[in-house]
Chain A
Amino acid sequence: MHLSRIPSGVRYYVGEAARRRRAVEDCAISVFAGWSYEEISTPTIDYYSLFEQGMGAEAQTSFRFVDADGGLLALRPDVTSSVARACATLLAEKPRPVRLCYVAPVFHQHPRSKAEWRRETTQLGCELIGASGIAADIEPLVILAETLNRLGLERSYCITINNVEIFNGIAEHLRLNDDSRERLRSLIDLRDTSGLTELLDALGTDARERELFVQVTRLAGKRAIINEARQVITNARSRAALESLAQTWSAIETVGLGESFEIDLGDVSGLDYYTGLLFKVYVRGSGVRVGRGGRYDGLTSKFGRAEAATGFVLDLDELTSVVAGTEFQVERAGAPAVEISLPDAGSTFREARRRRSENQQVRVMF
């Protein structure tokens, strides 16, 4: 095999690209720190069972290998699972809420889609553990918005919000078995309106309700979409979620972020994982989602301590490529380097050290 070969789905960053990526990372981490999120660094390898518990079927995309004692290990496919475990164990005594952030590469053997070709991606993430209610739902959204604004993407991004309990209530109300539930979910997710109409017809729903339901899940919108949804979604479980979403929306408007947010009742991904609010981040210039998050109250109980939790991840690599086309300022390394070239190594480096003690950039000439 040629040593020049490189596996698919990984890349180098050099020079300008590396500086830009570092600047995006620094910008995000400083925003997270500004909201009192403390950095956590999690193990790069861990037991596969941790990720299986934490992510469900998605963990199967991880790189797996066998430990010396025969245990199955995986190269970290996400960070949240590990953070949730730490909160239930290592950080169990820490006063709540716990606010943690990270910047960490995650690895997948198979990329999620062809456009998301990377198998190594770096996640910028925040997790807020041990807090529930509207305020705890809003905090990650506000941090996300500030991060994107500071990256100079102010009018280029859109964050969609939804609440998974709206769909769960509907599936329960229609008494769907697992197959029809997944079929309904998939048709809503694909915005396949004709397929959705057919399925709802077969499930014996009222014609007018059917039309309204297809309409509210088809397109994202602002507050009006909640009012339309109220007319057709009447079961108690979905209604409670819809009212909670309405409150979240009001808060977003009050904060002054209504312009950048949309309500997308058709976002029905990750239903097994999220337990309430969920959101997605889209940025002009990228064909894929650059971030996602939501409430995952079910996760920490798997590690022995049930508590409310919410969080998000942004894709550093995708953000870096989006930012490349904007005016986001990547700081150069200050004044031009002082070139040092003396006859012998000793005096060269004595001079270089003196310059460095004054924080000058030096370049030793050979």
Chain B
Amino acid sequence: MLTIAIAKGRLQEQAVQLLARAGVKIAASDLASRRLTVDDESGRYRLIFVKPSDVPVYVEHGIADCGVVGRDVLLEANADLLLPLDLRIAPCKLVVATTNDTSLMDGGMLRVATKYPSLAAAHFGARGVPVEIIQLVGSVELAPVLGLADCIVDLMETGRTLKENGLRVVEEIIDSTARLVVNRASYLLKSAAVAELIGSLSAVLDGGP
């Protein structure tokens, strides 16, 4: 049996739909329930639903063989995983945003509020800009508005949340879509099952059933 960890939230529904088209079908009653682990109808796959940043953790330890999670989360976690497939769902961008009346290059350093401390530090570090990283867990958009930070590094899907909070995008750091990730040992020890999953997902992505 293959265990697949799915990131809850933003991409969950699209991921479950994509897997269903690839033959990993979950009974409607199971999906409607609040259970965090469900088996598919064939009994060959088990889906577990965990927080996005926990997906690489479960897969790296081999507790889940595979996972579906955004590239942004993977890069932030710097996990040692295989990335065989771009699932091309849940597209978004990691951006630098600030209030309309803030100019970023005025002072000697920047205060950056973010849920992505390593990516933010790497981004500004690469261009020699000293930053103070202020790590937040949610509502990052508030930070520059209230004066906690000069700017934010956050995920943008449509740009609506940023706009509604009076923020503008200054820079795009990376593009992100959902990725299929696989544990290194599972890739070899369960190679037939993993190859089959990758094969059927690729077929769906390439315009199959």
**Lowest 3 CB-CB distances: which A-B pairs, in order?**
A287-B62, A113-B80, A115-B60
With A114-B60, A287-B63 given, is the CB distance from A193 to B80 under 8 Å? no
A353 contact set on B, CB distance < 8 A:
none
| Chain B contact residues, CB within 8 Å of chain A | 56-57, 60-63, 77, 79-86, 182-189, 191, 195
- A160-200 vs B, CB cutoff 8 Å, 1 = contact: the mask equals 10000000000000000000000000000011111100000
Interchain nearest-CB distance for B157 vs A (Å): 22
Chain A residues contacting B84 (CB-CB under 8 Å) are: 190-193, 218
The interface residues of chain A lying within 8 Å CB-to-CB of B85 are: 193-194
Name the interface residues of A25-50: CB closer than 8 Å to any CB of B: none
In the complex formed, the residue of B with least CB distance to A286 is: B185
* Number of A positions contacting B (CB below 8 A): 24
**Interchain CB contact under 8 A, A287 and B83:** no
Contacts of A158 in B (CB 8 A): 188-189
Which residues of A, 175-229, contact B by the 8 Å Cβ criterion? 190-195, 218-220
Q: How far is the CA of A265 from the CA of B77 in the complex (A)?
A: 27
A219 adjacent to B83 (CB under 8 Å): no
Contacts beyond the supplied A113-B80, A190-B83, A288-B185: 7 A-B pairs with Cβ under 8 Å: A114-B60, A114-B61, A191-B187, A220-B188, A287-B184, A287-B186, A288-B184
Contacts of B61 in A (CB 8 A): 114-115, 287
Q: Which residues of A contact B60 (CB under 8 A)?
A: 113-115, 287
Q: Which residues between 264 and 293 of chain A lie within 8 Å of chain B, taking CB atoms? A: 264, 282-284, 286-289
On A, residues with C-beta under 8 Å from B are: 112-115, 158, 160, 190-195, 218-220, 262, 264, 282-284, 286-289
Question: What's the least CB distance linking A284 to chain B, in Å?
Answer: 5
Known contacts: A114-B60, A193-B84, A219-B195. The answer to whether A284 contacts B188 by CB under 8 A is no
CB closest residue in chain B, given A117: B61
Query: Hey, which chain B residues are within 8 Å of A193, CB to CB?
Result: 84-85
Among the interface residues B56, B80, B82, which one has the most CB atoms of the partner chain A within 10 A?
Answer: B80
Please, could you name 9 A-B residue pairs with CB atoms under 8 Å apart, sorted by A? A115-B80, A190-B82, A192-B86, A193-B84, A218-B84, A219-B195, A262-B191, A264-B188, A284-B189
